[in-house]
Amino acid sequence: MAVSNVLFSDVESFLDSHPELFEDYLNRKGSPGMVEKWLKNHQESKGPAAAAAPAEPREKKGGRDGSWASRCDGLQRRASQKELRRTFARSKAINANRTYDEHVNSRAQEPLTSMRRRALLRKASSLPPTTAHILSALLESRVNIPQYPSTAVDFKYYLKEHSEREFFLELVKDISNDLDLTSLSYKILVFVCIMVDADRCSLFLVEGTGNKKTLVSKFFDVHAGTTVLPSMNSDEVQVPWGKGIIGYVAEHGETVNIPDAYQDRRFSDEIDKLTGYKTKSLLCMPIRNSDGEIIGVAQAINKTSSGELFAEDDEKVLQMYLPFCGIAISNAQLFAASRKEYDRSRALLEVVNDLFEEQTDLEKIVRKIMHRAQTLLKCERCSVQLLEDIESPVVKFTKSFELLSPKCSADTEGSFKDSMEKSSYSDWLINNSIAELVASTGLPVNISDAYQDPRFDAEADQFSDFHIRSVLCVPIWNSSHQIIGVAQVLNRLDGKPFDDADQRLFEAFVIFCGLGINNTIMYDQVKKSWAKQSVALDVLSYHATCSKTEVDKFKAANIPLVCELGIDKLSFDDFSLDVDAMITAALRMFMELGMVQKFKIDYETLCRWLLTVRKNYRMVLYHNWRHAFNVCQCMFAMLTTAGFQETLTELEILALIVGCVCHDLDHRGTNNAFQAKTGSALALLYGTSATLEHHHFNHAVMILQSEGHNIFSNLSSTEYSDLMQLLKQSILATDLTLYFENRNVFFELVSNGEYNWNVKAHRDMCRSMMMTACDLGAVTKPWEISRKVAELVTSEFFEQGDRERLELKLTPSAIFDRNRKDELPGLQLEWIDGICAPLYETLAKLNPKLLPMLDMIKANRAKWEELNKKRQHGQSVSAPTSPCSGDSTEPSGCTVAKTGSTPCCSGRNDGTPSKATS
């Protein structure tokens, strides 16, 4: 036959070139006996020579896994059982453990991916005979395994053969000095394999208490040839208490020695059928501590010698060795527990230190709380939500703070989000359902599996970038045992649910957090209360409403005409009227503009309101009642003479007139910067932005709300609401900070011819500019009036500078420093050129009827220029200053203070300057 002429070497060469043909033939024709014979022959021939021949086909390297994979360089053995386990586990399993192969040294030159493929799961033959529990043991671990040479194993085999006493002492000594539970468990399994000649061993430790006990093993299928130390991050195998062979041994404390696993009803052969691995015998024995309590179960599978069973001698050896293991495990567990409690106690002490170091800023203290919570509980996210009203039965959160663990986010800088309103909460806050439940009941909620809890919105979570597994939410209490908020942590970093120890720790932690948050909130409330009380007492002690006699006097008085008073002139003399004449002139303005008739203002109420407003201006040098009246007169002239009355609505006109009268109510003769520097009650109450302007508005509202003073009482609710918004806008517009923010836009609109009265934003800007122009109006008056106003402003500013030098130990700026009064003409020029002139030029473009104001500015500037030249030539000059109003901060580009010179006012309410500076 032709076959007889074929050489065996040719056939072997052909099969080497076509390994897939050989594999296909073996799969179809091969028998289990052939595989067992091949494994036995190659197991016996395993030695150093095998490891020294990496170029040989891989079937030459002995092993227990009998199948082959095709490779371009010939046949190569692969662990067929484990490949099947991996495929099966990937599609079915939920929990995982790790199998460690004994032939690591012989595979040292395999690719890393191949080595990882071999670190697969082996069947847990003693798991409960249900598919769910079998599948839970079959997930491949993807964690890199650190390798350590196992040089002591050979020595222990030597001692076992030559001196059983020395061998046993060596094993006991080796575990007695190891307090790391991970390495200790690994050693115990290796030593058990050596003692009873087991093929594989597993160790399960008891976790939990009472009815919540489970058996957990991080190390599965370890054997004496293992040369790797299990990774700390390896997944675990969990066995329910009392289930399967492992659970039975743990529950009853009995030794189970099964010669034939297939004859025991508790054993499942599902994985054996899948992988082809034959489980023959099992030996399971409980591990007890010194008190006799079961703390674990050791399991040995299959004798290494083919056909042998675990004998009674094996049981006796383990019965002698496992008590020592129990003591060592107990010591390691106690050490780990004490270390954990030490770390947690130290963390709590650090929390207390943090909380009592910072009690003035809520955001800072909450940030510290969340960082500490993540450190303690090692979670992915945490949040703190504070209740809006702790007395209300309705749960409503006013602020929420959230923090993402740096391990879950590359952007740690943006992981902390500042306090937000409820409407902007993140999607992972579970729509607040759980947080609201905790806040309403006061009971903690610990959800181990969020998707199985009806309180959790699984659909919302699926659309989120962050997926929630477990939730621990506890209430935050104050010292009065009232709930002030909730603290919530999500997803432990190790993937486990939060346990009872976590809950107890978090509750203890939140006790301190509640005290810290409550103290911070109370501190803020005390500060605000003190500020309110201080301001209220100050106002009440200084101010009072007008008397009935005064009201009756002006109610019956004859009011001069506009032409008699001269209040319609842009060049009105700010010092021409006495204090009573200013009241009658103000009454005439309201009547002339039609406000009394249009809005049905009660005349007696109007008189009372004006007199009370006059009383509520302090007797400071400049920012007093005369200044307020002059600002109002300037606005009246712009409305009537310049014709703005025809363009603005009646509601806008009323808001502007009332705003001018009230724009500096209760002014203290110092500016916003001074309030901030001194930390005054006004600064604490209103903040450092437009401090005085907010106070002026609130004071105006207080007068309007006083009995018999509401001149707006006949307005409809809509008109009243709109008017109060316009009034607030008008008063705040006198802050030069807002003027600088808006003026460039307004200037460009007018310059480019794009200003449109029908656009609301344009109208708002124009009204604001008109308020500023009236507030600075003294610079547009004839020289003698303008200069007199400047002297009053200078005197008031110098008094503030004296206080800065005396109280704050600061050197005041030039405009406030009476020692530098000779510099003021130059500063006045800067004031006119940088602030005043551009404003009036733009308004004159918008309304040419305002050109006389611009012409007067130019004339006054010439006078200041003349004084400045005299100063530069060394001649003595009097010291006028920039007519700035002291409410605002110093504008950039100008060294003068922040309020502009508005119509002058006397240092006393009768119009006579009480102090001037020369």
Q: Name the nearest CA neighbour of 99 among 64, 71, 151, 58.
A: 64
Tokens in use for 66? 């009998």
Q: Are 502 and 470 in contact (CB under 8 A)?
A: no
Task: Provide CB contacts within 8 A for 797, sequence distance 6+.
Answer: 815, 816, 881, 884, 886, 897
Pairing of strands 256-258, 282-288: antiparallel
User: Hunting for tokens 């061998």 — which residue is that?
Assistant: 167
Could you give the residue numbers annotated as active site? 623
Tokens in use for 203? 């160790």
Tell me the H-state helices in 558-647.
562-565, 579-592, 595-598, 603-615, 625-640
547 DSSP 8-state letter: P
CA distance to 215, 222, 264, 328, 885, per residue, from 295 (Å): 9, 19, 25, 11, 82
Amino acid at 528: K
Dist CA 121 CA 128 (whole Å): 17
User: Which H or E element spans position 51?
Assistant: helix 48-51
Dist CA 689 CA 684 (whole Å): 11
Q: Are 93 and 139 in contact (CB under 8 A)?
A: yes
User: Which H or E element spans position 313?
Assistant: helix 312-357
Pairing of strands 67-71, 471-477: unpaired
Dist CA 148 CA 391 (whole Å): 62
702 DSSP 8-state letter: H
Beta strands (DSSP E) in 605-676 are none
Q: Name the nearest CA neighbour of 877 among 867, 863, 865.
A: 867
Q: Name the nearest CA neighbour of 527 among 363, 685, 359, 688.
A: 685
Dihedral sign for Cα 507, 509, 512, 516, please.
negative
Q: Name the nearest CA neighbour of 272 among 85, 492, 498, 412.
A: 85
Dihedral sign for Cα 670, 671, 672, 676, please.
negative
User: Which H or E element spans position 12?
Assistant: helix 8-17
CA 62, distance to chain mean position in Å, is 58
Tokens in use for 356? 């009592």
Dist CA 39 CA 62 (whole Å): 7
Neighbour tally for 561: CB within 10 Å: 9
Q: Name the nearest CA neighbour of 133 among 192, 204, 200.
A: 204
Say how many CA atoms lie within 13 Å of 481 toward its Cβ.
Answer: 1
Q: Are 489 and 472 in contact (CB under 8 A)?
A: yes
586-591 contacts at long range (C-beta below 8 A, 24 or more positions apart): 586/610, 586/629, 586/632, 586/661, 587/554, 587/559, 588/559, 588/560, 588/561, 588/562, 589/632, 589/633, 589/636, 589/657, 590/657, 591/559
Amino acid at 556: A
User: Hunting for tokens 């004490």 — which residue is that?
Assistant: 338
Amino acid at 393: P
